A and B are shown apart, each in its own frame.
Chain A
Amino acid sequence: MPELKLLLKHKARTLDEYRRIGGYAAFQKALAMDRQAVIDEIKKSGLRGRGGAGFPTWIKWNGIPKQKTKRHYVLCNADEGEPGTFKDKELMESTPHQVIEGMMIAGWATQADVGYIYIRAEFMDCARAVKSAIDEAYAEGLLGKNIQGTGWDFDLHVHLGAGSYECGEESAMMSSLMGERGMPRLKAPHAPLPTIAGLWDSPTLINNVETFACAPHIIQNGGDWYAAMGASTKNSRGTKIFSVSGHVNKPGNYEIEFGTKLSDLLELAGGIKGGALKACIPGGSSVPILNAESVAKAVIGYEEIGEVGSMVGSGGCIFFNEHTCIVALMWRTAKFYMRESCGKCTPCREGTDWLFQIHDRIIKGGGRPEDINLLKQICAQIDGRSFCGLGDAAAWPIVAALKVFPHEYEYFIQHGKSIVDTPQSKLMFPYAEPVPV
């Protein structure tokens, strides 16, 4: 199947350009609609959160109290920390108004007073693009006091993170935004939902950049129109942007309709490069890895990818060719999560450290046969036991790698070196001699 471009169709950095492609028409339409009607349209569309978990978007929007007793906030998660994912970056850089318009529609629907876009500090260009778009919107009276004579006030601010993957987790993001250490907060059933008590204990709607960017299209064309896309899947509607990287000829962001085959996505990205396809991480570094066989079978959809044992995640799709050592890949992955664990809870803080130590030992040739079981048990002691999803995200890839490529671990442990023994593979090893290019 070819690409189906909705969000990535245009590049429109300025308000003028954005207007020319029909920008803010959806917002105008929303302003004329009843708030609940806006939410109902989102419900009809079947839109699910694009930040990773795929939670039905309308439930969050609908969860913000209709009777307003406090300030309401809209928070856009633009931390995009998941390794392999770079779609939000492109969305913010090429069509910042699309994201802003989505937030404004959400703000209108949930009677919000203030919106924040929390952008990771590495994305300076995004921050600049979004900031100048916000300035333009203020200048045109799209933001600020009494917007379009509706009596509704809405302000939008850009906030830069300080370099932490964990700050993409929604409750840690709220802590960070409020000036606290970037650690997650208690969630239901231990504490009220953020839609009731989020930022400064007030109702807060948090969505991913891409989720917000979908809203204008849904409002403009109707939920039913949107839901028609991806109808071949069980419960995934519309389009999804995949950031394709790794051993492919044309890495980049590709927007496809749900129901597209994973192999088609690979084709869109110019096919595998430098050797035969070996593996794929379809949704960002925290989702389970697939082998070539599963890739061939996989259809893109929240439930459909689940059938082959992985997840849509944030859409950070990395393909690996035959020169990839899975153990080295997991060494790299484990190192990432060890460094990014915030330290709040024991299983993640200590477990990610331990997982890395073991991989490091194996990579250096010191693996022991019992390490395989130990790794599995450590993962089981983290998965579902940690405070937030980072712990799970650290465990899943390793669990999957041990399941899909057990022989690679066994070989490495037995021989003290990788089963993949090609000049190209040497590049992967942190401790090997650098290979002359």
Chain B
Amino acid sequence: MASLAQEPGLVTITIDGTELQVPKGELVVESVKRLGREIPIFCYHPRMKPVGMCRMCLVEVGMKQPDGTVRMMPKPQAGCTLPASDNLVVITDSESVIADRRGVLEFLLINHPLDCPICDRGGECPLQNNTLFYGPSTTRYVEVKRHLPKAFPLSRHVTLDLERCIQCGRCVRFTEEISGDAQLAFLFRGAAMTPRTFELTDLDSKFSGNVIEICPVGALTSSDYRFRARPWDLETRPSTCLECANGCSVWFDHRGGKMVRINGRVNDAVNEEWTCDKGKFGHGYLNAPDRPAKPLIRKEDVLAAADWSTAYQQIVAHFEDGRTAVAGLVGAKVSNEDLFQFKRMFHRHFHSPNLDHRWTRILPSQTEGVRGLHGIDEVHTRIAEWESVNAALVVGNDLASDQPMVYLRLRKAWQRHGAKVVVISERPTYADHFASAVIRCEEGKLFEAVARLSAAVLQNREGADALRAALKPFAPDAKDRAAAEALKGEFFTVCSESVYAKPDGGKTVSALANLAVGTDNAQRFNLYPVGANDMGAALLGVHPGGQGMNTREILEGCIQGRIKSLWLLECDPFALWHDHQQVQDALENVEFLVVQTSAPNQAMQYASVVLPCCAHVEADGTYTNIERRVQKIEAIWRPKGDAKPSWKLFTELMLRMNPSRPIFEPSELMEMIIAEDESFAPAAYHNLEGNGACLPLGVDAGAQLFMEIYQ
């Protein structure tokens, strides 16, 4: 066969007699997929460096000689580590390859407990699958099998069955290469080799759950899910995690109306295929036995089940046209559609601007936020872009907690191309281990630390004289100057709104924005929200705007009697607000309290009316993550009892107050959102299949400095 014309960067290889062009250096295990073929694997994982440990992927390999003959290599080669080069010849289906696969599987199985009938992995196990396709059907092993602990706890979440482990090293490599905490390592050698934590340590990684999924057998099991179900008992539906604002794609496994397991779902724009432990193990509340299933109304000090119409009647009586005497507070897991309809109800029917979704100590008004003071957007960088940054400034709380996926991408940037990272924080963070500089400041001194680093960074640069002058009082020390070295050119800033929980959070954010603006890095500035749909709430205007009261003022208003009726939508102020006493006083004092919730919470005991609403897995809706990606979540199971989707509940109430054309579908609400704010145009429902759609980022009005913070 004549060689194909060569394109630059491509090489011509032959797989099982078919010639094809592939990028030079592509691993043969990947090239084979281009032909719709497959090389069986265990240890290889496309997101980690290949190691060639398990030998499952052995193939015959040769080199085509100039005279057209093929010189075969004497030994089979691992397809997972072999890079494609010109004239490479690969054979994946010869008798000897088939025999090699059978041999490797036989070896893997001789000491395997074969407890598939009780194994969590049975039915979705690569070892089972490969054995079925390529393995021997009987064993020749008559010796006594190795016996090892079957339930060795690695952490609160992960339990290791040492007998099932095939020593592929995926778990160890995950902690070394991906999460970076290197909490697992191989102990002992030869057949006794086992993955373990180090002496006296736990697998307390924020990403530990992933090892359960990448384990190619049932060795790493979820302590919660162990022996709870077999894969074929489960119904698996795509969903999005709402435990933080990254919005990772997940598979939601449920059975009989109960959530059983959450696995990562591939989404190269957001989470690749990972989840963090908060997300993977944090959805237990959906199974709470005491989730409200009927509207409840307080009658002589007890909450009693009631019907919707009575509940609506009371609410209308207390809220309609309540003006500044009524207020609403919102939690993070509320869909865009719900938020939009809630806001409409408040604005149009209650004529109240008193709405807020924020629970941090500092609640900047429109004019005090980043946009107000600095004229720049809060967010400029998409999650996937973080893996190609060259320099970054990470400020505030632990990035791995607040923005787990940004953390993983940034770590990748460091690992792949040595990105320089500067961390400023009060406490140790996950990113410290790869940061080129860590500035650890005292509690409450974040602002000063940022100011000092700013001064050091500006010493290396031209321009920004006014800012440099304003920073005079902040003399950088040697450490700051060393850190500034990493920020000499373009750099990205990342901070999370959790910084607003700190007394100096507002000044810190402003100082960061000044630094970004002053160094021409404003287009790389990011202040990411933390709550699942905080971004949606901010974009949809679920905040006091210019006229209304913010969360603090609303709580104070309740205490002082200025707020007579308060509506809590999917939020528990006791869990969210820093001052418990203030919450208690507010809820005790307010005349009429609506608690609309999908899960029982502490505020319910003060409620006048409790409205059961759907959790995200029970209603269709969209959510906007940190990179303004609007993702649609579809109802997976039926609501509990009489619970309703929140938007529907608001719609019904609004119809009572003003009969008009009803809304039947959340998609109609999205159309209304788009009509009101055209930046939402990409999020029309027909665009949301797959990985959702991104709204514009980095909408800057003209960057400016704000120097008063330094006085």
Do A346 and B108 contact each other (CB < 8 Å), given the known contacts A190-B78, A341-B191, A386-B55? Answer: yes
B108: A residues at CB distance < 8 A: 346, 350
Known: A190-B78, A361-B143, A387-B52. A351 touches B107 (CB 8 A): yes
Does A381 lie within 8 Å of B190, measured CB to CB?
no
**B415 CB, nearest partner CB in chain A, Å:** 14
Indicate if the CB atoms of A343 and B55 lie closer than 8 Å.
Answer: no
B591-605 toward A: CB 8 Å interface, digit per residue (1/0)?
000000000000000
Q: How far is the CB of A74 from chain B (nearest CB, A)?
A: 27
> B100 in the interface, Cβ–Cβ < 8 Å?
yes
Contact yes or no, A346 B53, CB < 8 A: yes
Cross-chain contact of A341 among B76, B77, B106, B189 (Cβ < 8 A): B189
- Nearest chain B CB to A142's CB is how many angstroms away? 37
Of B52, B85, B107, B193, most A-chain CB atoms within 10 Å? B107
Q: Check A345–B54 contact: CB distance below 8 A.
A: yes
Query: What residues on B are CB-neighbors of A381 within 8 Å?
Result: 100, 103-104, 106-107
Contact string, A361-404, partner B, CB cutoff 8 A, digits 1/0?
A: 10000001000001000001100111100000000000000000
Q: Does B111 contact A (CB under 8 A)?
A: yes
Q: Contact at A347–B190, with CB atoms within 8 Å?
A: no
Query: Is B189 within 8 A of A343, CB to CB?
Result: yes
Flag the segment in A202-210, A299-307, A352-360 that touches B: A352-360
Is A234 part of the binding interface, using a Cβ–Cβ cutoff of 8 Å? Answer: no
B82, CB-defined interface residue at 8 Å: yes
List of A residues within 8 angstroms of B167 by Cβ: 343, 346, 349
Give chain A residues whose Cβ lies under 8 Å from the Cβ of B166. 346
Is there a chain B Cβ closer than 8 Å to A339's Cβ?
yes
Q: Is the beta-carbon distance between B52 and A343 smaller than 8 angstroms?
A: no
- Asked if A436 lies at the interface with its beta carbon under 8 angstroms from chain B, I say no
B186/A181 in contact, CB under 8 A: yes
Q: Does residue A342 face the partner (Cβ distance < 8 Å to B)?
A: yes
Q: Are A345 and B55 in contact (CB under 8 A)?
A: yes
Q: Are B110 and A344 in contact (CB under 8 A)?
A: no
Partner of B190 from the list A342, A385, A387 (CB cut-off 8 Å) is A342
Q: How far is the CA of A163 from the CA of B599 in the complex (A)?
A: 58
Q: In the complex where A361-B143, A385-B103, A387-B55 touch, is A343 in contact with B193 (Cβ < 8 A)?
A: yes
A338-B76 CB under 8 A given contacts A345-B54, A346-B104, A346-B108:
no
Interface string of B84-97 (1 = CB under 8 A from A): 01000000000000
Query: With a CB–CB cut-off of 8 A, which chain B residues contact A186?
Result: 50-52, 81
Cβ contact within 8 Å between B143 and A339? no
- Distance in Å: Cβ of B89 to nearest Cβ of chain A: 13
Q: Which residues of B contact A149 (CB under 8 A)?
A: none
Interface residues of A in 292-349 (CB under 8 A from B): 338-347, 349
- A387 contacts across to B, CB distance below 8 A: 52-53, 55, 78
Q: Does B58 contact A (CB under 8 A)?
A: yes
The answer to whether A434 has its CB under 8 Å from any CB of chain B is: no
- Partner of B74 from the list A190, A344, A349, A384 (CB cut-off 8 Å) is A384
User: Hey, which chain B residues are within 8 Å of A357, CB to CB?
Assistant: 143
Contact status of A385 and B52, CB under 8 A, knowing A338-B190, A349-B190: no
Whether B83 contacts A190 by the Cβ 8 Å rule is yes
Cβ of B227 under 8 Å from chain A: no
Q: Which residues of A contact B103 (CB under 8 A)?
A: 347, 380-381, 385
Interface centre among A339, A347, A351, A368 (most CB of B within 10 A): A347
Total residue contacts A-B, CB cutoff 8 A: 104
B50 contact set on A, CB distance < 8 A = 186
- Distance in angstroms from B418 CB to nearest chain A CB is 13
The verdict on B75 contacting chain A, using a C-beta distance below 8 Å, is yes
> What's the minimum C-beta distance from B53 to chain A, rounded to whole angstroms?
5
In the assembled complex, A189 has its CB within 8 A of some CB on chain B: yes
Q: Tell me the bound Cα distance from A301 to B169 in angstroms.
A: 41
Q: Who on chain B is nearest to A387 by CB?
A: B52
Q: Does B52 lie within 8 Å of A350, measured CB to CB?
A: no
Chain A minimum-CB-distance residue to B49: A186
Tell which of A358, A384, A385 has the most Cβ of chain B within 10 Å: A385
Does B635 belong to the interface (CB within 8 Å)? Answer: no
Q: Count B interface residues, CB 8 Å.
A: 40
Contact with A along B38-80 (1 / 0, CB 8 A): 0000000000001111111010000000000000001111100
Residues of chain A within 8 A (CB-CB) of B74 are: 384
Complex Cα–Cα for A322 and B112 (A): 41
CB distance from B417 to the nearest CB of A (A): 15
Task: Judge whether B299 is part of the interface by a CB distance below 8 angstroms.
Answer: no
Chain B residues with CB below 8 A from A385, complex form:
55, 58, 75-76, 100, 103-104
Given contacts A186-B81, A190-B83, A345-B52, contact A350 B107 (CB under 8 A): yes
Task: Report how far A374 CA is from B78 CA in the complex, Å.
Answer: 25
Q: Contacts of A345 on B, CB cut-off 8 Å? A: 52-55
User: In the complex, what residue of chain B is closest to A358 when comparing beta carbons?
Assistant: B143
Q: Which residues of chain A have C-beta atoms less than 8 A from B81's C-beta?
A: 186, 190-191
Closest CB of chain B to A185's CB: distance in Å?
A: 9
Q: How far is the CB of A366 from chain B (nearest CB, A)?
A: 9
Interface centre among B53, B75, B83, B191 (most CB of A within 10 A): B191
Interface presence of A285 (CB below 8 A): no
Interface status of A164 (Cβ within 8 A of chain B): yes
Nearest CB of B to A390, in Å: 10
- The answer to whether B143 touches A346 (Cβ under 8 A) is no
B664 within 8 A of A: no
**B140 CB within 8 Å of chain A:** yes
Please, how many angstroms separate the alpha-carbon atoms of A164 and B193 in the complex? Answer: 14
Q: How far is the CB of B50 from chain A (nearest CB, A)?
A: 8
A340 / chain B contacts, CB cutoff of 8 Å: 189-190
Cα distance A338–B191 in the bound complex, in angstroms: 8
CA separation between A190 and B83, bound complex, in Å?
A: 6
B56, closest chain A residue (CB): A346
* Distance to closest chain B CB from A208 (angstroms): 23
Contacts of A342 in B (CB 8 A): 189-190, 193
**Chain B residues within an 8 Å CB radius of A349:** 107, 167, 190-191, 193
Which of B53, B83, B185 contacts A181 (CB under 8 A)? Answer: B185
11 contacts between A and B (CB under 8 A): A164-B189, A186-B81, A189-B82, A340-B190, A342-B190, A343-B191, A350-B108, A354-B143, A381-B103, A384-B74, A387-B55
- Other CB < 8 Å A-B pairs besides A191-B81, A345-B54, A346-B53, 18 of them? A164-B189, A186-B81, A190-B82, A340-B189, A341-B191, A345-B52, A346-B54, A346-B55, A346-B107, A349-B107, A349-B190, A350-B107, A352-B191, A357-B143, A358-B143, A381-B100, A381-B107, A387-B52
